[in-house]
Amino acid sequence: MSSEPGQPVPTSVYVHFPWCARKCPYCDFATEPVKTNTIPHEPYTDAVLRELSFRAADLQGRELTSVFFGGGTPSLWDVKALKRALEGIEQAFDRVSDDIEVTVECNPSSLSRRHARELHEAGVGRLSIGVQSLRDDHLQFLGRLHDSKRAVATLEDACAEVPRVSTDLMFGMPGQQLDAFGTDIERIVATGVRHVSAYALTIEEKTLFGSLHKAGKLRVAPEDRYADLFELAQRRFTDLGWNQYEVSNYAAEGEESRHNLHYWRGGAYVGLGAAAVGCLDRGPGDAFRWRNEPIPQRYLAQPTHHSETERLGPDEIVREALMLGLRTARGMHLATTRQRADQDPWTGRERGLELAIQKGDLVHNGDWLRVPKDRWLKLDGIVRDLF
């Protein structure tokens, strides 16, 4: 969201850790499998801090509101090295929010209770743990390194050591039953977790699953089963009193991911690390986006970091606001988008917006535009029609 004139601009930081112990067959993220004893812990921290120094001018007048260490598997990063990166990031900003949210993504195979405690002592207040399923056959299908017993124990240990814990839960595996998925949700909530990202298995082209699917060698759930599982998750979390605040994210009161909400609301963010993406506003109707060198070895060696850059003008800013904001329960804030884009969001898409409102696919309430939750299964098509 925008800030008042003269006030620091709320800004998030995403740090990409490009290594994992094993590449999952469904994953199309910029990651490399690596033997843990070969990870260049301190050199990678040095490279991230060098990039941070390179971006120093862009950080002036900004307030750091959240830091998210993603990957890959950042829980493989030595805690001392990660802490040094976090401290460097906080020192680089004019101001740091009093309630800054610092999140680290973890896998059950690389997170012990002691490790969770050490991360908390290093300044991390939130862990996001990639469980995906509590069914051993599904975990084997997904190529995960943990089993269901390890997953439950890891969540319980994390909740005992860190104030805020989130986990990922995937649906759409072949043969997945509704009752079993509902039981997974209940077992996860029983560990003390207060935030769940529940999302569908997606077959991406440049993955092992993508190749197998193209060759007709991968069985996936039919579309109607995806819809049934999505609606089951909605019902179960609603019964728990949780809020589905974004199409794939559920949280107990006050446990929403502030970092992700910042993205969905069009906030400025700095991307650090190999393959990281950042986007900073440079005035009304003007933003700059970059993507870093994706190959870790090249990122470690090079003095500059951009591999791709893009300038966003008014229409691109409006499109992204629609694409991201309409994913959330509250929706897109029209006045903020108008201020950021220096353009009325209705301009050039009046007919499409009016038609969507008439059909009930959109609700216009004061300064907010949102997609009703009972239409979220059609969300991608609704947004696409507005472009």
In a domain, 109, yes or no: yes
Give the domain CATH number at 378: 1.10.10.920
Evaluate whether residue 285 is within a structural domain: no
Same structural domain, 321 and 209: no
Residues 266 and 340: beta-carbon distance below 8 Å: yes
Are 213 and 323 within one domain? no
Task: Out of 219, 234, 262, pick the residue that ends a domain.
Answer: 262
Q: Is residue 339 part of a domain?
A: yes
Residues 112 and 191 in one domain: yes
Domain membership of residue 169 (yes or no) is yes
**Does 120 share its domain with 232?**
yes
* Cβ count near 63 (within 10 Å): 16
How far is residue 30's CA from residue 70's CA, in Å, rounded to a whole number? 11
For residue 278, being part of any structural domain is answered with no
pLDDT at residue 201, rounded to an integer: 87
Q: Is residue 95 domain-shared with residue 219, that is, in the same domain?
A: yes
pLDDT truncated to tens, each residue of the chain (387 aa)? 455 556 899 999 999 999 998 888 788 788 889 998 999 999 999 999 999 999 999 999 999 999 999 999 999 999 999 999 999 999 999 999 999 999 999 999 999 999 999 999 999 999 999 999 999 999 999 888 999 999 999 999 999 999 999 999 999 888 889 999 999 999 999 999 999 999 998 888 888 888 888 888 888 888 888 899 999 999 999 999 999 999 999 999 999 999 999 999 999 999 999 999 999 998 999 999 999 999 999 999 986 667 889 999 999 999 999 999 999 999 999 999 999 999 999 988 899 999 999 999 999 999 999 999 999 999 989 988 888
Of 200, 232, 262, which one is at a domain's C-terminal end?
A: 262
Shared-domain flag, residues 16 and 86? yes
- Residue 166's pLDDT is 98
Number of domains observed in the structure of the chain: 2
* C-alpha span between 291 and 296 (Å, rounded): 13
**Does residue 229 sit within a domain?**
yes
Cβ within 8 Å of residue 349, ≥6 positions away:
386, 387
Note whether residue 298 is domain-resident: no
User: Which pLDDT value is given to residue 5?
Assistant: 59
194 and 321 in a single domain? The answer is: no
Same domain assignment for residues 94 and 238: yes
247 and 323 both lie in a single domain: no
Q: Does residue 233 share a domain with residue 138? A: yes
Closest C-alpha among 70, 73, 101 to residue 163: 101
DSSP states along 60-102: TTEEEEEEEEEES-GGGS-HHHHHHHHHHHHHHSSEEEEEEEE
pLDDT tens-digit series, residues 10-69: 999 999 999 998 888 788 788 889 998 999 999 999 999 999 999 999 999 999 999 999
- Adjacency order of strands within the sheet including 363-365: 332-333, 368-370, 363-365
Residue 208: the pLDDT is 85
Whether residues 193 and 101 share a domain: the answer is yes
267, part of any domain: no
Q: Are 54 and 270 contacting, i.e. CB atoms less than 8 angstroms apart? A: no
Is residue 213 domain-shared with residue 341, that is, in the same domain?
no
Task: Give the pTM.
Answer: 0.94
Residue 45: give its domain's CATH number.
3.20.20.70
* Token pair belonging to 320: 């992204």
d(CA 121, CA 79): 10
Domain stop point among 262, 294, 327: 262
pLDDT computed for residue 205 by the predictor: 82
Q: State the Cα–Cα distance between residues 13 and 66, nearest whole angstrom.
A: 6
Domain hosting residue 340, numbered range: 314-387
- Given this model, what pLDDT does residue 303 score? 62
